[in-house]
């Protein structure tokens, strides 16, 4: 581990490191709860470090990372008002609020052992003077092994920086060098040994004003000694650490299930979903750009909002949400775009489609249009869309946000849902239903094969389609012979 920027600048470690539990809208939406006031926990000053390595103890599972904007106090603050609180910030930098979820249960929310380990608060590498920043115009990005996984700004905070400072100063003196970790946006997750986490904080007004990338590589450390609370995890802890709902905390789309889904028709899956009360899972109006294309994958989401000049000026250029979605889509994932079923401007072109293919995406679904349709169709990446159009997205759309629940073609799509598509269209399967629906669909298709054979032999459809008791028995025998 290297010496950290705060210690180097001040000549001593921070006296206090104070972290906020939940402070971004995106994170609150992901967690399904929104606090009315901020709450905090303390981290040890000995957890502070800079870029370097952090050890995950052997025998543990869930080392979580959280990219955050860190405020470093420059002058004492006691009972300051929100209106003047920012004046007490000396510097801003990047931080990584690391924590070992295996030990969270041991301290009942105080996070003493889970978040207080040596090296669990990397800061830096550079300190940005606070006077060079507007507090509502600060960006935060986190990469895991080079893939962008967190991207937000201080405009997405539930509680502005000034409120955090003023609130804390009601009961304690914030001293020069104290650090406030201001919370993490959606996208934090778990890092395995060998993984590298990079965090950067920067000015939205001048992207050259930056903390630089704070880099942490996870290594495998020795096991924890045998005394004290042992490391313990359950499905709830896994879900919290990985940043996913409990029902999807572990992958449901194994290679075996993916292959089986490729073997059944979307029409059959649709029947089985409807039998279970899911009548609105078809993504209406989308068709394969290249007939015969099929998609099976896990949903990632991107939402466009209607074009507005001021919003497009702020959100449409640079590394916008569209590019973020393309740069973060992973192998076997399907990028699903909400474009309000407006096919009068492109939502995808050939360069970004190529990038998605190189990253291993299973496909792209948009209820808007595709431009560069010929080159996109030649890539071999399955793309489903509502049409083609030569105009760029700025004619109708503003790239707005990623990895949130969206409506695509009238169907609700959550990150982690299973997307299956063929020439009949595309559907959304809730992860908790995949195994049940798939098995039922396979049996249904076997029944239909059996029925088709009987009809070809000259049998009447009466009592056969749908299958009555006599034919049910014959079908079970037919099926048993083919196992």
Question: Residue 355 carries which DSSP code?
Answer: H
pLDDT of residue 273: 94
CA quadruple 144, 147, 153, 158: dihedral sign: negative
DSSP label at residue 81 = -
3-state secondary structure of 349: coil
The per-residue pLDDT for 2 is 44
Ordered domains of the chain (ranges, CATH):
5-242 (3.90.850.10), 281-429 (3.50.30.40)
371 is in an annotated binding site: yes
Cα 59 to the center of its chain, rounded Å: 26
- What is the reported pLDDT for 85? 97
pLDDT at position 3: 53
pLDDT digits (tens, 9 = 90+) for 449-469: 888 988 998 988 888 888 888
Percent of the chain at pLDDT above 90? 71
CA distance 435 to 251: 12
d(CA 195, CA 191): 6
Contact 421, 427 (CB under 8 A): yes
Q: Is the pLDDT of residue 483 over 90?
A: no
Q: Judge whether 147 and 330 are in contact, CB under 8 Å.
A: yes
What is the pLDDT, as a whole number, of residue 240? 81
Q: Which two tokens stand for residue 417?
A: 């849902």
Task: Name the pLDDT band for 347 (thresholds 50, 70, 90).
Answer: very high
Q: β-strands 52-57, 333-338: how paired?
A: unpaired
Closest by alpha carbon to 418, among 429, 432, 407, 409? 429
pLDDT 10s digits, 367-409: 999 999 999 999 999 999 999 999 999 999 999 999 889 999 9
Share of residues in the chain with pLDDT > 70 (%): 96
Range of lowest pLDDT (235-239, 284-288, 433-437)? 235-239
What are the beta bridge partners of residue 144? 147, 197
Query: Is 199 in contact with 142 (CB distance < 8 Å)?
Result: yes
Structure confidence by residue, pLDDT tens digits, 246-259:
434 444 688 889 99
Residue 207's pLDDT is: 83
Task: Give the CA angle between residues 193, 104, 417 to the nearest 5°.
Answer: 65
Tell me if 258 is assigned to a ligand binding site. Answer: no
β-strand pairing of 411-413 with 40-43: unpaired
Q: What is the pLDDT of residues 97-140, one digit of tens each?
A: 999 999 998 887 789 999 999 999 999 999 999 999 999 999 99
Across the range 418-435, mean pLDDT stands at 94
User: Sorting pLDDT into bands at 50, 70 and 90, what band is 4?
Assistant: low
CB atoms within 10 A of CB 417: 24
- The SS3 assignment for 299 reads strand
Q: Which residues, other chains included, contact 92 with Cβ-Cβ below 8 Å and sequence gap of 6+?
A: 69, 70, 71, 72, 127, 128, 130, 133, 138, 201, 211
Listed residue (220, 239, 217, 275) closest to 439, CA to CA: 275
pLDDT of residue 249: 40
Question: Do the Cβ atoms of 280 and 420 come closer than 8 Å?
Answer: no
Q: Is 59 annotated as a binding residue?
A: no
pLDDT value at residue 160: 95
Query: Residue for token digits 């926990």?
Result: 41
Once rounded to an integer, what is the mean pLDDT over residues 262-268?
95
Residue 355 labeled ligand binder: no
- pLDDT of residue 175 exceeding 90: yes
Residue 407, strand partner residues:
412
181 forms bridges with which residues in the sheet?
19, 70
Cα separation, 390 vs 244, in Å, equals 37
Binding residue per annotation — 352?
yes
User: Residue 30 — pLDDT band, cuts 50, 70, 90?
Assistant: confident
Q: What pLDDT does 353 receive?
A: 96
Summary mean pLDDT of the chain: 91
What's the pTM value of the predicted model, to 2 decimals? 0.56
Distance between CA atoms of 47 and 13, rounded to whole angstroms?
A: 10
Range in 86-100, 341-355, 428-442, 466-480 with the lowest mean pLDDT = 466-480
Q: Angle between the 434-456 and 255-262 helix axes, to the nearest 10 degrees?
A: 30
In angstroms, the CA 336 to CA 404 distance is 11
Using CB atoms within 10 Å of the CB of residue 473, give its burial: 0 to 12 exposed, 13 to 18 middle, 19+ buried: exposed
Known binding residue 141? Answer is no
Where does 363-433 have alpha helices with state H? 373-378
Averaged pLDDT, 204-209:
90
User: What would the DSSP string read from start to end of 106-136?
Assistant: GGTTS-HHHH-STT-EEEEEEEEEGGGS-TT
> Sign (positive/negative) of CA torsion 427, 433, 435, 436?
negative
């Amino acid at each position: 581990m290297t010496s950290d920027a705060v210690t180097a600048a001040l000549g001593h470690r921070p006296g206090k490191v104070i972290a906020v539990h939940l402070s971004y809208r995106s994170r609150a939406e992901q967690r399904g709860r929104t606090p009315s006031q901020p709450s905090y926990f303390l981290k040890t000053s000995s957890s502070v470090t800079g870029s370097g390595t952090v050890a995950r103890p052997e025998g543990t599972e869930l080392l979580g990372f959280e990219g955050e904007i860190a405020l470093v106090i420059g002058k004492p603050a006691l009972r300051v008002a929100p209106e003047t609180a920012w004046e007490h910030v000396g510097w801003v930098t990047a931080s990584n609020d690391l924590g070992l979820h295996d030990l969270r249960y041991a301290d009942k929310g105080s996070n003493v052992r889970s978040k207080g380990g040596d090296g669990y608060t990397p800061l830096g590498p550079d300190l940005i003077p606070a006077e060079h920043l507007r507090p509502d115009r600060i960006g935060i990005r986190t990469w895991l092994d080079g893939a962008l996984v967190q991207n937000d700004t201080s405009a997405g905070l539930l509680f502005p920086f000034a409120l955090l400072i003023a609130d804390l100063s009601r009961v304690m003196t914030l001293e020069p060098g104290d650090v406030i970790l201001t919370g993490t946006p959606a996208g934090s997750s778990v890092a395995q040994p060998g993984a590298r986490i990079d965090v950067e904080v920067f000015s939205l007004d001048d992207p050259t004003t930056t903390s630089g990338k704070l880099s942490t590589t996870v290594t495998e450390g020795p096991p924890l000694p045998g005394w004290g609370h042992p490391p313990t995890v359950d499905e709830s802890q896994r879900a919290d650490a990985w940043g996913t709902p409990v029902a999807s905390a572990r992958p449901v789309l194994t290679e075996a299930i993916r292959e089986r889904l490729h073997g059944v028709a979307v029409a059959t899956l649709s029947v089985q979903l409807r039998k279970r009360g899911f009548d609105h899972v078809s993504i209406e109006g989308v068709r394969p750009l290249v007939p015969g294309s099929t998609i099976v994958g896990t949903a990632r989401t991107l939402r466009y909002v209607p074009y507005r000049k001021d919003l497009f000026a702020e959100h449409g250029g640079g590394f916008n949400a569209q590019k973020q979605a393309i740069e973060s889509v992973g192998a076997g994932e399907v990028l699903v775009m909400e474009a309000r079923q407006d096919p009068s401007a492109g939502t995808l072109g050939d360069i970004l489609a190529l990038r998605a293919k190189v990253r291993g995406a299973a496909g792209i679904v948009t209820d808007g249009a595709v431009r560069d349709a010929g080159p996109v169709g030649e890539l071999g990446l399955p793309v489903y869309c509502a049409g083609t159009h030569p105009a760029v997205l700025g004619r109708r759309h503003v790239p707005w946000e990623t990895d949130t629940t969206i409506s695509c073609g009238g169907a609700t799509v959550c990150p982690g849902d299973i997307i299956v598509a063929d020439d009949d269209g595309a559907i959304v399967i809730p992860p908790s239903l995949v195994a049940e629906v798939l098995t039922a669909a396979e049996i249904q298709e076997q029944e239909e094969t059996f029925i088709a054979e009987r009809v070809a032999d000259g049998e009447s459809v009466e009592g056969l389609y749908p299958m009555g008791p006599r034919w049910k028995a014959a079908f079970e025998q037919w099926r048993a012979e083919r196992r």
